[in-house]
Amino acid sequence: MPASSHSEISAIIDANEQQILKEWLEALRQGASLETGRIKEPELNTQAKGFFSHLRGALREGGLDVRSRGYETLRSFLAEVSRTRALKGYSPSETAMFVFSLKRPLFDAAAKSADASAAAQRGWEINQLIDELGLQTIESYQKVREEVILRQQSEISELSTPVVKLWDGVLALPLIGTLDSARTQVVMENLLQSIVDYGAEIAVIDITGVPTVDTLVAQHLLKTVAAARLMGADCIISGIRPQIAQTMVHLGVDLDVTTKSTLADAFAVALQRMGRTVVDVDSIAGRTAR
């Protein structure tokens, strides 16, 4: 009688509510590593009781079909539990244990039934129900982690591509960290767009903070310089380390680019090309005084 399976499970839960909750909480307390302080006992109690009441509602509304509408509130409640746990640094199995540890208490309650075959049938249904809910938990957990990774990726790429204005018409791009091909591409597109936005005639690409440059990255750098030239801007590469200089030479690239050892030197060249110079204020003051 599949139509009444869920009501029988509901009946089992109703009859044994206090016992099941008590055993489940006990299991949760052991599994939740309360001593690490990631979760407090009252919070654990609230989560368990919340889940339990939503489960009873879901059984009533949606039977045993976890994907049905009746389970919507339970699913979103579980998703929230997974989310907070994922953010607190729980492992996937620690998170899934929240649901799985309910299995044993429910089994035990079902086993009390006088009818052995009915008990076995209920046990199987409970097993499936809890498994599906557990999988949902893991899925939500995974989704949250992926969101975190995506957010971090975009934060890193934003943080690592600051195009800064040094002077009217002069931009600098201080590159820091290892450059892979994909990141270099993003950085370069950013730089070229900034050249348009600022109307900059000179861009200094400073690679002091780049530990190594492989062949592909060096090629990307040179391509950027070529692209900037096509747009009408000049690039100066500064901060080239000795071994990077060697890589570039081994590439056999005729460096048709102005290179300077420091950002300061590059800035001086840029100012010169813009028809400007930096002077010592005291020396001017002294001259006018005399």
Give the footprint of another protein on this chain (CB under 8 A): 182, 188-189, 192-193, 195-196, 199-201, 223, 226-233
Least distance in Å: CB of 230 to another protein? 4
Degrees to nearest 5, angle at CA 162 with 273 and 202: 15
Q: Are 203 and 232 in contact (CB under 8 A)?
A: no
Taking the C-alpha atoms of residue 161 and residue 194, their distance in angstroms, rounded to an integer, is 11
Q: Are 210 and 179 in contact (CB under 8 A)?
A: yes
Least distance in Å: CB of 235 to another protein? 12
Residue 55 or 188 with smaller CB distance to another protein:
188
Residue 87 or 196 with smaller CB distance to another protein:
196
Least distance in Å: CB of 182 to another protein? 8
Least distance in Å: CB of 223 to another protein? 5
Residue 177 tokens read as 């960290």
Least distance in Å: CB of 224 to another protein? 8
Residue 200 or 218 with smaller CB distance to another protein:
200
Residue 157 tokens read as 């790429």
Residue 27 or 217 with smaller CB distance to another protein:
217
Residue 40 or 165 with smaller CB distance to another protein:
165
The DSSP string of 79-111 is HHHHHHHHHHT--HHHHHHHHHTTHHHHHHHHH
**Residues paired with 206 in a beta bridge:** 174, 238
Residue 221 or 266 with smaller CB distance to another protein:
221
Least distance in Å: CB of 249 to another protein? 21
- The 10 Å CB-count burial string (b at 16+, else e) for 134-154 is bebbeebbeebeeeeeeeeee
Going 65 to 71 to 75 to 77, the CA torsion angle's sign is: negative
